[in-house]
Chain A
Amino acid sequence: MSKQRTVTFNHNPLLRHGLPAWRPRAVMLGLMACSLALIGRAMYLQGVNNEFLQAKGESRYARVLEVPATRGRVTDRHGDMLAVSTPVRSIWAIPTDVNLTPPDARKLAGLLEMDVQELNRRLAAGRDFVYLKRQVSPESAQQIADLKLAGVHQQQEYRRYYPGGEVMAHVLGFTGVDDKGQEGVELAFDGTLAGKAGARRVIRDRRGQIIEDVEAIRAPRDGQDLALSIDAKIQYLAYSALRQAMQTHKAKAGASVVLDARTGEVLALVNAPTYNPNNRSNLSGAQLRNRVLTDVYEPGSIMKPFIVGLALDRGKVQPGTIIDTSPGRMTIGRATISDSHRNGALTVAQVIQKSSNIGTVKVAMHFSPDEMWRLYDDLGFGKPLNLGFPGEAGGRLRPAKTWKPIEQATMSYGHGVSVSLIQMAHAYLAFARDGELVPLSLTRLDAPPVGGKRIFSAATAREMRGMLELASGPGGTAPKAQVAGYRVAGKTGTAIKLEGAHYTNKYVSSYVGLAPASDPRLIVAVMIDEPSAGQYYGGAVAAPVFAQITEGALRALGVAPDAPLVPLQLAQKQGAVVPARENM
């Protein structure tokens, strides 16, 4: 009995009654299938689909950090800073986490330069996230961080500074809060200037210190620096001359552009009214407007030299050819055009000097509308210059087929066609560069452009410079354009403004000139919109601005005087001339 009670498993009497043979095998198979499934799963996780778990594991210690890139600097042609990004911090808070004691609140408010009530009002706003102040200087941000206040956080941002202020405003434009270009050069060259933030993966220890650089995912690409063709000194000269003229003539607006005649670089580009790009809280459209590039106007008489140049070039007239302009009026179709003074018989040179409409029209009548259209098209009128500037205007030049005779006549002296000031200055390059036209550049060129588009022969360009010099001499329309020590050549323009389809009694006075006339270095174009202090002729309003800019710019560039020394000494006796000009 007792023997039977102590049976081992093998001798279990239950087993003696033979279990069916498939049962242990089935169990065995089942167990094996289970373990195979586990092994398979383990292999799958380890070998085949391991990214997910590895990523999970890595996220415990690895971090991807953004590596900020800075926006490129903008400098003038000599390397003076015009726009720089510097890091600033924005202070933000989670109001529910903030629990300020009154002394802390006072300190924080002091550092943020706001009063305590304002601070409390911001913190009381029922939001999860409030900016306490954006773009705080790094020093005060550090002091705020040292207060170690719960719920007050900081984030790094960049702010763009423009040391040139309002002088450079229209050239540079500005960037938005997110450091992207919105206007001017900042927008036009945004692709070059903007940096691209990089990223890298690092391993951090428990205290948040980086202990290992695992890989650089993307290297940060800092924005490239940009050297403009602008000369800060000439720009300032142009700005102050223009501002002065605006005040004296109570003008609505004004603009000026200075070009380097040898390279086609833009040395200065100013507009008035202007604005301070560092403080843009209340800007108006009029202040933002870049009149040099985006506004077109009827240029008036400054257009005359082109058609006369073409006539000289084709041999239709000589500088000494006599043209009868009497009786000072002329009828074409049903319209009548007239000169402001009766001039009688004039030579071609005098037509330019006295700015005779009738004389110019008679010269233009040598050409078909098609020939004239081709000249204007070659000079770049009617299409934008493609400087890459936002909102650049092309002006209006209708196809030659639609021109009526009276329109061809008025277009020869700059009415019925519209251009921007920079297009006008650009077209005058043809006279300054012995007949060749080169594209303009807003960035500094390392080498002067070779081979331009030939518009006139070198001889014609020289003859025309001579005529333009007469125009700015005694007996011309703009003796006030003269600059002591240098010979200047240029042309005045006084255009009546077109509003809707009617001419008004408002004027645009302009002057485009080149200096020194013997070997031009500069082209200076000035436009004064609606001078309303009595004078409105280009020779009285715009020419003195030209003289002031040219005088300073030639001195700044160190150009040797080309006027003979004798008049320089004579000028001593006429000392009163210059102060008088400054008062205009």
Chain B
Amino acid sequence: MIRTDAFLVAVAVASALGVVASQHQARKLFSELEREQTRAHGLEVEWDQLQLEQSTWAAHARVEKIARERIGMRAPVPGQVFSIEGVK
């Protein structure tokens, strides 16, 4: 009788400790998830900003200005355009 009682008490204590441990584990994992989600959001924001930056640098007005002024490019006059036949 006493032996069964002792066994049951031991099981109960072990299970209680298990609950505590897993609860702790869950909280730790959750705060990690939280951190990662914040990081993901941050990266998404950065991606947006980089795309924004890219489209600012690659704006047609800027490209044209540089092509004309710095590199000295110009649109071809009609006589300079040749079509190659047979190429699709």
- Point out residues on A near B: beta carbons under 8 Å: 73, 80-82, 84-87, 161, 163-165, 167, 209-213, 232-233, 236, 240, 484-485, 560-561, 565, 568-569, 571-575, 577-579
Contacts and interface: CB of A to CB of B under 8 A. Distances in A.
13 contacts: A81-B55, A84-B52, A164-B59, A167-B61, A213-B30, A236-B61, A485-B81, A561-B83, A568-B82, A572-B78, A572-B79, A575-B78, A578-B77
A80 B55 contact: yes
A540 to B, nearest CB: 21
Contacts of A573: 79
B49 interface: yes
Contact of A161 (B31, B52, B58): B52
B36 interface: no
A211 B45 contact: no
Interface string B63-74: 010000000000
A212 B45 CA distance: 25
Mostly, the B contact residues are helix
A87 B49 CA distance: 9
B77 A236 contact: no
A568 B55 contact: no
A167 B60 contact: yes
A-B CB proximity, top 9 nearest: A572-B79, A484-B78, A571-B78, A236-B60, A163-B55, A81-B55, A163-B56, A211-B27, A81-B51
Contacts of B77: 575, 578-579
A89 to B, nearest CB: 12
A85 B52 CA distance: 9
- Main secondary structure on chain A at its contact with chain B? mixed
B83 A568 contact: yes
Give the interface centre of B77, B78, B80 by most chain A CB atoms within 10 Å. Answer: B78
Contacts, number: 77
Contacts of B52: 81, 84, 86, 161, 163
A373 B77 CA distance: 45
Contacts of A577: 78
Contacts of A572: 78-80
A84 B79 contact: no
Contacts of B61: 165, 167, 236, 240
Contact of A575 (B27, B31, B79): B79
A574 B77 CA distance: 10
A299 to B, nearest CB: 30
Contacts of B55: 80-82, 163-164
B5 to A, nearest CB: 32
A460 B47 CA distance: 52
B87 to A, nearest CB: 9
Contacts of B45: 86-87
Nearest to B60: A236
A565 B60 contact: no
Nearest to A237: B60
Interface string B1-38: 00000000000000000000000001100110010000
A578 B60 contact: no
A232 B60 contact: yes
A574 B85 CA distance: 23
A212 B64 CA distance: 54
A74 B79 CA distance: 39
